[in-house]
Amino acid sequence: MLLLGIESSCDETAAAVVRDGREVLSSVVHSQIASHRPYGGVVPEIASREHVGAFPVVAAGAVERAGVSWADLDAIAVTHGPGLVSSLLIGLSGARALGQVLGKPVWGVNHIEAHLAGMFLDPAAPDPADACPLLALMVSGGHSCLVEMDRVGGYRMLGQTLDDAAGECLDKGANLLGLGYPGGPAIERAAQGGDPAFVHFPRGLEHAKNRTTGNGLAIEMCLSFSGLKTSLLYHLKNHPDDRERHPADLAASYQEAVMDSLATRAERALSATGARTLACVGGVAKNAVLRGKLETLARRHAAALLLTPLAYCTDNAAMVAAAAGLRALAGLDNPPAVEADPSLPLVEEE
Ligand code: KG4
Ligand code: ZN
């Protein structure tokens, strides 16, 4: 099964050709980071305008680099949510136009499910059936959640952030520290050689228990990052010299608070589920401190560790084609891509 994947849910315009859900023949990503950097975050109007210009080049580039012809494609898989509606619409319209011209089906893919499929793009990764039951820590700029996966298409939401996403927290923290955008890699770089115990920043919801959230999730498995960001703001107000005198220590302490929060929540979920595999997906999964903590955790719980290849952590289209391919190969339907849903849930009854 040969699929063209299309991704445009945020600020990356991407297209990729993937065979049988696992074999990446090409993956083209047009990053808009430079266009959004002056604003310290993604500006939706700029993102959608840039998607329009990049889409034809990126889509044609992916097919050309894969060494296949348009006629060889079995279908087109496009992210239809969640994400920025104005960004989603560009990829969706482009994919539907291509589908119409080529006479191929156009399938809608959930962006979170695509991130989950990204972990199987490592040629050394096991088959999904052998990796399940699996616990995935999904951490990106827009989402942070813990998902239990018992098969392709079989997901249960165990916990999620009640406010900011982990990547968003890093982006906002880097902004306060004057480290630039995107914040995750900037903080990781700045933290090199710093003391992660220099400031003990709060770990949100650390001691919360015996409660469920409005959507029925155990509070022990949920995350909160808004207090951390405020705490950094106050630290900088109370210690105005620290930014210049201790940049690495501050970055390392802030990074440690984010990654420690994620690791403790992942550990609780791993204990509760007894999952065979611990996995990490999304842009923040690139972080070496987080990867190290998850390695330790997996060892302690005798779980296999499945880390997404670095190239497929941040948004890309190979994971989109992979998600649709894995579903099709598992005998599951892929819904036709009809409209963009900015808040499309991973699990229906969520
Ligand atoms: O998955 P992604 O490309 O977009 C969303 O779906 O949201 O993730 C982007 C996020 C940004 O917040 C960025 O700061 C973060 O991933 N990120 C990192 C690293 N590289 C990217 N966070 C921590 N360490 C990194 N090395
Ligand atoms: Zn993403």
Computed from CA positions of residues 182, 164, 46, 80, in that sequence, does the dihedral angle turn out positive or negative?
Answer: positive
Residue 144, ligand 1, Cβ within 6 A: no
Question: CATH classification of 126-307 is 3.40.50.1820, yes or no?
Answer: no
Instruction: Indicate the domain borders of the chain.
Output: 2-117+313-329, 126-307
Fold observed for domain 2-117+313-329: Nucleotidyltransferase; domain 5 (3.30.420)
Radius of gyration of the chain (CA): 20
Residue 47, ligand 1, Cβ within 6 A: no
Q: State in Å: Cα 217 to ligand 2 middle.
A: 22
Q: Beta strand pairing status for 75-81 and 106-110?
A: parallel
* Atom number, ligand 1, closest to the C-alpha of residue 12: 3
CB 8 within 8 A of CB 90: yes
Give DSSP secondary structure letters for 58-122.
HHHHHHHHHT--GGG--EEEEEEESS-HHHHHHHHHHHHHHHHHHT--EEEEEHHHHHHHHGGGS
Task: Tell me how far apart the alpha carbons of residues 60 and 53 are, in angstroms, rounded to a whole number.
Answer: 13
The ligand whose atoms approach the alpha carbon of 308 most closely is 1
Q: State in Å: Cα 258 to ligand 1 middle.
A: 13
Task: Tell me how far apart the alpha carbons of residues 20 and 9 are, in angstroms, rounded to a whole number.
Answer: 23
User: What is the pLDDT, as a whole number, of residue 214?
Assistant: 87
User: What is the pLDDT, as a whole number, of residue 40?
Assistant: 84
Q: Which residues surround ligand 2, an ion (CB under 5 A)?
A: 140, 315
* Atom number, ligand 1, closest to the C-alpha of residue 171: 14
HSE-up (13 A, CA, CB side) for residue 257? 28
Task: Tell me how far apart the alpha carbons of residues 97 and 106 are, in angstroms, rounded to a whole number.
Answer: 9
Residue 287, ligand 1, Cβ within 6 A: yes
Q: Beta strand pairing status for 23-31 and 12-19?
A: antiparallel
Residue 284, ligand 1, Cβ within 6 A: yes
Q: State in Å: Cα 205 to ligand 1 middle.
A: 22
Q: State in Å: Cα 217 to ligand 1 middle.
A: 25
Bridge partners for 23 per DSSP: 19
pTM of the model: 0.96
| Per-residue pLDDT tens listing for the chain (350 residues) | 999 999 999 999 999 999 999 999 999 999 999 999 888 888 999 999 999 999 999 999 999 999 999 999 999 999 999 999 999 999 999 999 999 999 999 999 999 999 999 999 999 999 999 999 999 999 999 999 999 999 999 999 999 999 999 999 999 999 999 999 899 999 999 999 999 999 999 999 988 888 999 889 999 999 999 999 999 999 999 999 999 999 999 999 999 999 999 999 999 999 999 999 999 999 999 999 999 999 999 999 999 999 999 999 999 999 999 999 999 999 999 999 999 999 999 997 64
Task: Tell me how far apart the alpha carbons of residues 235 and 259 are, in angstroms, rounded to a whole number.
Answer: 19
Q: State in Å: Cα 111 to ligand 2 middle.
A: 6
